Amino acid sequence: MSDILAINGGRPVRDKYLPYGQHWIDEEDIEAVADVLKSDYLTTGPKARELEEKIAEYVGAKYAVVVASGTAALHAACFAAGIKEGDEVITTPITFAASANCVLYQGGIPVFADIDPKTYNIDTNQIEKKITKKTKAIIPVDFTGQAVDLDGILQIAEYYNLIVIEDAAHAIGTEYKGKKIGAISHMTEFSLHPVKHITTGEGGIITTNNGEYQKKLSLFRTHGITRDKELLTNKKEGSWYYEQIELGYNYRITDIQCALGISQLKKIDSFIKKRREIAETYNRYLSQIDGIIIPYQEPYSNSSWHLYIIQIELEKFKAGRKEIFEALKAENIGVNVHYIPVYYHPYYQKLGYKKGLCPNAEKLYERIITLPLFPKMNNKDIEDVVKAIEKVLGYYRK
């Protein structure tokens, strides 16, 4: 291996680029999709119901509603929670924009509470400080797959009469105090995007134990239209009759996609096992390299590991995060940064959010790099990542 960094013209650690995340589709998945294509039903139908039942069972919830994306799932959950014009909803800045955008869709106001610098998850004490008379809900994110402090958050929610919509896009299969997440919060959202644990191509699902929420979520998925006799205002019309009773959207998912989801779900345990093994291997190697902080895990959480994020102790290096990041990328390692604090985005700046709002989140953002993590990675891939880190950090070390 050449010591000259690839970014300076040396030979990269790998010839082939290693992405940061990737789906794993096998022949069984392909057959399951092809079967639906040969059937009579393409859009939301029997496969969607089957996926709902199976995911509800997997997480231990009474109900699940599957929709077109994780973002649609969050939007539907905000609708079901009754978020409307002027309502405040507390979330974390270290997340994908969807966790806050879903509040804006409903005319609500996202309020950012700072993170715990150790776990990178929303800090329960900071949540309480942000509560006002207008606060209606909390959207905590199980960031990277690590469960948030659910007992603490639910206790606050109960005291202030708030609804908890858990954004568990990173965390299907994660356990909190030995119990799978999905039925602990009032509603839990999972994403079925290809970089997440299991995929439908695009898709999302909300799980809940509350039948009222389940009804509202289902209505929202299809324009707010119902044929349910119990919900109709006019019960005298014929069997053609339906009513739009809410303003919903077309957030339906196809049975083509749901067949893929059902097939993927059969493999979720092996996918998560691989993710946990890779994270452990990273921990073992990287804890020996000076200048890196590996991800701290709370004992109450058994993460399903969507992301593996390292913090660079920048004071130990001659280069900044940007140089280190670009040098790793030149070695053909698919590094990434999760996330730019949501309120840094120009759209949020225009809404009036100011830098300095969440100092822990802002400091973390300067120092993080996401490493590749997906079940199909082999030992050589993991070793290449470690080699590239040793090479790059070795070069820039003070």
Site residues, ligand PLP (CB under 6 A)? 69-71, 95-96, 98-99, 141, 167, 169-170, 191, 193, 204
Between residues 141 and 265, which has the closer beta carbon with respect to ligand PLP?
141
Pairing, β 292-293 against β 243-244: unpaired
| Per-residue CA distances from 292 to 18, 41, 191, 282, 306 (Å) | 21, 52, 30, 11, 19
Shortest CB 131 distance to ligand PLP, Å: 22
Residue number closest to ligand PLP, CB atom: 70
**Closest CB to ligand PLP among residues 190, 325:** 190
Task: Kindly state the DSSP code that residue 317 receives in the 8-state scheme.
Answer: B
Give the start-end residues of each E strand in 245-383.
292-293, 301-302, 308-312, 368-371
State the Cα–Cα distance between residues 146 and 94, nearest whole angstrom.
13
Is residue 174 within 8 A of residue 146, CB to CB? The reply is: yes
| Helix (H) or strand (E) segment spanning residue 165 | strand 163-167
User: C-beta of 315: minimal distance to ligand PLP in Å?
Assistant: 30
Q: Which two tokens stand for residue 298?
A: 């709370």
Rounded CA-CA distance 227/239 in Å is 9
Q: Return the number of the residue (256 or 319) whose C-beta is nearest ligand PLP.
A: 256
- Element (DSSP H or E) covering residue 136: strand 135-139
Q: Which of 196, 216, 274, 329 is catalytic?
A: 196
Burial of 174 (0-12, 13-18, 19+ CB in 10 A): buried
Nearest CB to ligand PLP, comparing residues 99 and 214: 99
Least gap, CB of 70 to ligand PLP (angstroms): 3
Q: Concatenate the DSSP letters of all residues of 206-248 into one string.
A: EEES-HHHHHHHHHHHBTTEE--TTT-S--SS-TT--EE-S--
Reduced to 3 states (helix: H, G, I; strand: E, B; else coil), residue 251 is coil
Rounded least distance, CB 204 to ligand PLP, Å: 5
Shortest Cβ distance from residue 202 to ligand PLP (Å)?
Answer: 6
196 noted as active-site residue: yes
Kindly tell me the sign of the dihedral angle through the C-alpha atoms of 250, 347, 309, 390.
positive
Question: How is residue 240 written in tokens?
Answer: 């053609």
Task: Kindly state the smallest distance separating residue 121's Cβ from ligand PLP, in Å.
Answer: 12
Q: Least Å distance between CB 193 and ligand PLP? A: 4
CA-based Rg of the chain, rounded to a whole angstrom?
A: 22
Give whichever of 186 and 391 is closer to ligand PLP, judged by the CB atom.
186
Residue nearer to ligand PLP on the CB measure, 136 or 170: 170
Smaller CB separation from ligand PLP, 76 or 184: 76
Looking only at the bridges linking them, the beta strands covering 163-167 and 187-191 are: parallel
The whole-angstrom distance between residue 82's C-alpha and the CA centroid of its chain comes to 22
Question: Mind telling me the catalytic residues?
Answer: 196
